[in-house]
A and B are shown apart, each in its own frame.
Chain A
Amino acid sequence: MLVKLFGNLRQHTGQLAVTASGTTIGEVLQDLCAAYPSLEKAIFDSDQLQAHVRVMVNGHDIELAHGLDTPVSETDQIAVFPPIAGG
């Protein structure tokens, strides 16, 4: 499925959108980190997401779903944001 990586996370993949697979968002992100190993430190702190890293499935933050256990399917759009702020 399509995963978009914003901000400085793009540096790890060299592009905005990449593909990865898995049945939960945690598996998808691990698959991504296997393909782009430097990404792991930017996203994960041990087995949890880094503070301020936001992951959304179809525009909905996984924290309000089932966290890294949130189920995903091939048609889902995933977005990962590093720590950001603004306004």
Chain B
Amino acid sequence: MQGWTGKILDIDLSSGSINTQPLDKEMARLYLGGRGLGGRLLWDLVGPEVDPLAPENVLIFTTGPITATGVQTSNRFNVSTKSPLTGTLLHSNSGGWWGMQFKRTGYDALIVRGKAPEPVMITITPEEVTIEDATHLWGKTVFETTEALGQDRNKRNVLCIGPAGENLVRIAAIMNDRERALARGGPGAVMGSKNLKAIVVEGDAKNQPADKDQFKFMLYETRKLLKASPLTSQAFPEFGTAVVLNAVNEIGALPTRNFQQTQFEHAYEISGESITDKILVTNQACWACPITCTRLTKTSSGQEGEGPEFESTWAFGAQSGIDDLELIAEANYLANDLGLDTISMGNTIGCAMELAEKGFLPADLRFGQAEKLHDLIHDTAYRRGLGDDLAEGSYRLAEKFGAPQLSMSVKKLEMPAYDPRGMQGQGLVYATSNRGACHETGNMLGPEVLALPRLIDRFATQGKAGIVSVHQDSAAVVDSLVYCKFVNLAVAEEFFARTLTAITGIRFTADDLMKVGERVWTLERLYNLREGFTAEDDTLPDRMLNEPVADGPSQGFTANLAPMLEEYYQFRGWDENGVPKPEKLQELGLADLVAVA
């Protein structure tokens, strides 16, 4: 079975048992890997009775059939679990080197169950798997832990949590390769709840394609397309992901001061252009990636690190009313070192600032207080003072202080850097995303702003449901193979199918892949329904629905969600309550799952 190793490593930290189980071939064909395989395994392992921070929750690390083949961006991997922030199914993926290296140890996936009595770390090589004491690492930051465990880019890779994960912060990330993150939804807290500090991988097994000649051809063609696209060959290397900040601001969709405004008057000072002008040292790449979007930056105080990416720049910048690029970059370094989701951290800080300004939160906190970023982030990771409330995420914070409407979140996951009032389709993406407000599960930035692949009216609602659904299914495909989504800017599903065919020896078409995407999306929906979520949870914050934008290019607009949602359910083959109809489940091969639910 080429593309897949056919083996799942299964570790129970409660008993210390280490087992290997075979990967079901049919499951691999239907769900591919990454997010799809992780979600399918989670369906069987974690039911609605399980608290996300209980030993019965699991962490499932998954690679895909393309991982470690050397095809462009074949470095990524996924983690699936039940989220301690949202209570939904959670999938999160990351780049770097760790995913490639884990695959090279000879496994497609790793299931971690139970809870170790004391802090431990896992080491995986092709020869052996060990669970060792990690008491000496507990309390160390991500950077300290990564260095202590001997991170070596192409040979030995470290995945770990920082203090935030240890302290069960609900917005804690799992970090890999020092500054890469499985961030959204709090997987770091799940890892912390298991007393698992780190997973080190060192492998040498090759993921050899079934058809070497065709694979080489696909590598060549993919390289050609990535080079020909000005997006992947110029825009990302020159300015990184934050280059879109000015465009999102220009159209009046850059959330500012906790989404009270949609344009930030200091947007240019914190944009990708300014990062390049002021703090960029060099650009870097993940394993097997020619795009090189990563920013290595250094501030005048001598601090250096990766990023900030667009979302992090926004979260610690416009969302918090802060225009000091150097302090934003340093906030990003700190959040990475402590193991926090920068989107949720910055969004929650912005929420706290509005709560304080409006008198709900008794704290000396105002928008624009850049000097407070460091302490707020630090205190969140260690749950000190106000940080203990921030550690619960914006929804629980705002609810505790009597103003849940000021949490800019969906299903308790903080919204990222696009205001749905200026991008109606993006609002539908947030409202229906299975892990809560998330742009990565079907980002409409392309069609609604950048004309990728073509421009549609960002204020229109009619017809958006179909476009959003296709984007969501496509993202699920990319997350299951696992590619980087930026490749998809130059390379279409047809190419993915041909490459996958060359790797696995199994014929896949673009239609087959899109069916996988729909299957994965629907499975996630079923999971959340089983957890008790309903159509009522497919919504947006009251501010988005009822407060028109006061000025700028999006002036007068609210998020007109209801008609899009109705159309969305119909397009997806779901009933008016957002429940997939039996014939849709039959079509996707999911009917058996519901029968046993």
Q: Which A residues have a C-beta under 8 Å from some C-beta of B?
A: 6-8, 10, 16, 51-52, 54, 56, 58-61, 63-64, 79, 81-87
Q: Is the CB of A84 within 8 A of B251?
A: no
Q: Is the CB of B231 within 8 A of A52?
A: yes
B440, B451, B457: the one within 8 Å of A54 (CB):
B451
Q: Which B residues have a C-beta under 8 Å from some C-beta of A?
A: 229-232, 234-236, 238-247, 250-252, 268, 272-273, 310-311, 439-440, 443, 445-446, 449-452, 455, 457, 486, 489, 552-554
Chain A residues near B239: list those with CB within 8 A. Answer: 7-8, 84
Q: Which of A59, A83, A85 is most buried by chain B, counting CB atoms within 10 A of its CB?
A: A85
B229, B242, B440, B455: the one within 8 Å of A86 (CB):
B242
Q: Is the CB of A54 within 8 A of B268?
A: no
Q: Is the CB of B246 within 8 A of A82?
A: no
Known: A7-B239, A7-B273, A64-B457. A85 touches B231 (CB 8 A): yes
Chain B residues near A61: list those with CB within 8 A. Answer: 251, 449, 451, 455
Known: A59-B250, A61-B455, A81-B247. A87 touches B235 (CB 8 A): no
Additional A-B contact list (6), CB under 8 Å, known A54-B451, A81-B246? A6-B273, A10-B273, A52-B450, A60-B553, A84-B243, A84-B247
Selected A-B contacts with CB under 8 Å, 29 pairs: A6-B247, A6-B273, A7-B235, A7-B243, A7-B272, A51-B230, A52-B230, A52-B231, A52-B450, A52-B452, A54-B247, A54-B450, A54-B451, A60-B251, A61-B251, A64-B455, A79-B246, A82-B230, A82-B234, A84-B450, A85-B231, A85-B445, A86-B242, A86-B243, A87-B241, A87-B244, A87-B310, A87-B440, A87-B445
A56 to B236, CA, bound (A): 21
Q: Is the CB of A7 within 8 A of B446?
A: no
Across chains A and B, which 5 residue pairs bring their CB atoms closest together, nearest first? A59-B553, A86-B244, A86-B241, A83-B230, A85-B231
Known: A52-B451, A60-B553. A86 touches B236 (CB 8 A): yes
Q: Is the CB of B250 within 8 A of A83?
A: no
Main secondary structure of the interface of B (DSSP, over half): helix
Q: Which of B246, B272, B440, B554 is most buried by chain A, counting CB atoms within 10 A of its CB?
A: B246
A87 to B245, CA, bound (A): 9
A63 to B439, CA, bound (A): 24
Q: Is the CB of A83 within 8 A of B246?
A: no
Q: Is the CB of B273 within 8 A of A56?
A: no
Within the complex, what minimum Cβ distance (angstroms) separates B256 from chain A? 14
Q: Is the CB of A85 within 8 A of B252?
A: no
Within the complex, what minimum Cβ distance (angstroms) separates A78 from chain B? 10
Q: Is the CB of A85 within 8 A of B310?
A: no
Chain B residues near A10: list those with CB within 8 A. Answer: 273
Chain A residues near B439: list those with CB within 8 A. Answer: 87
Chain B residues near A87: list those with CB within 8 A. Answer: 241, 244, 310-311, 439-440, 443, 445
Within the complex, what minimum Cβ distance (angstroms) separates B125 from chain A? 36
Chain B, Cβ-Cβ closest to A63? B455
Chain A residues near B245: list those with CB within 8 A. Answer: 86
Chain A, Cβ-Cβ closest to B268? A16
Chain A residues near B443: list those with CB within 8 A. Answer: 87
Within the complex, what minimum Cβ distance (angstroms) separates B445 from chain A? 5
A28 to B501, CA, bound (A): 50
Chain A, Cβ-Cβ closest to B293? A86
Within the complex, what minimum Cβ distance (angstroms) separates A6 from chain B? 5
A51 to B252, CA, bound (A): 23
Chain A residues near B450: list those with CB within 8 A. Answer: 52, 54, 84-85
Chain A residues near B235: list those with CB within 8 A. Answer: 7, 82-86
A6 to B445, CA, bound (A): 17
B240, B246, B449, B489: the one within 8 Å of A6 (CB):
B246
Q: Which of B243, B252, B446, B489 is most buried by chain A, counting CB atoms within 10 A of its CB?
A: B243
A8, A52, A64, A84: the one within 8 Å of B244 (CB):
A84
Within the complex, what minimum Cβ distance (angstroms) separates B447 from chain A? 11
Q: Is the CB of A59 within 8 A of B238?
A: no
Chain B residues near A79: list those with CB within 8 A. Answer: 246-247, 250
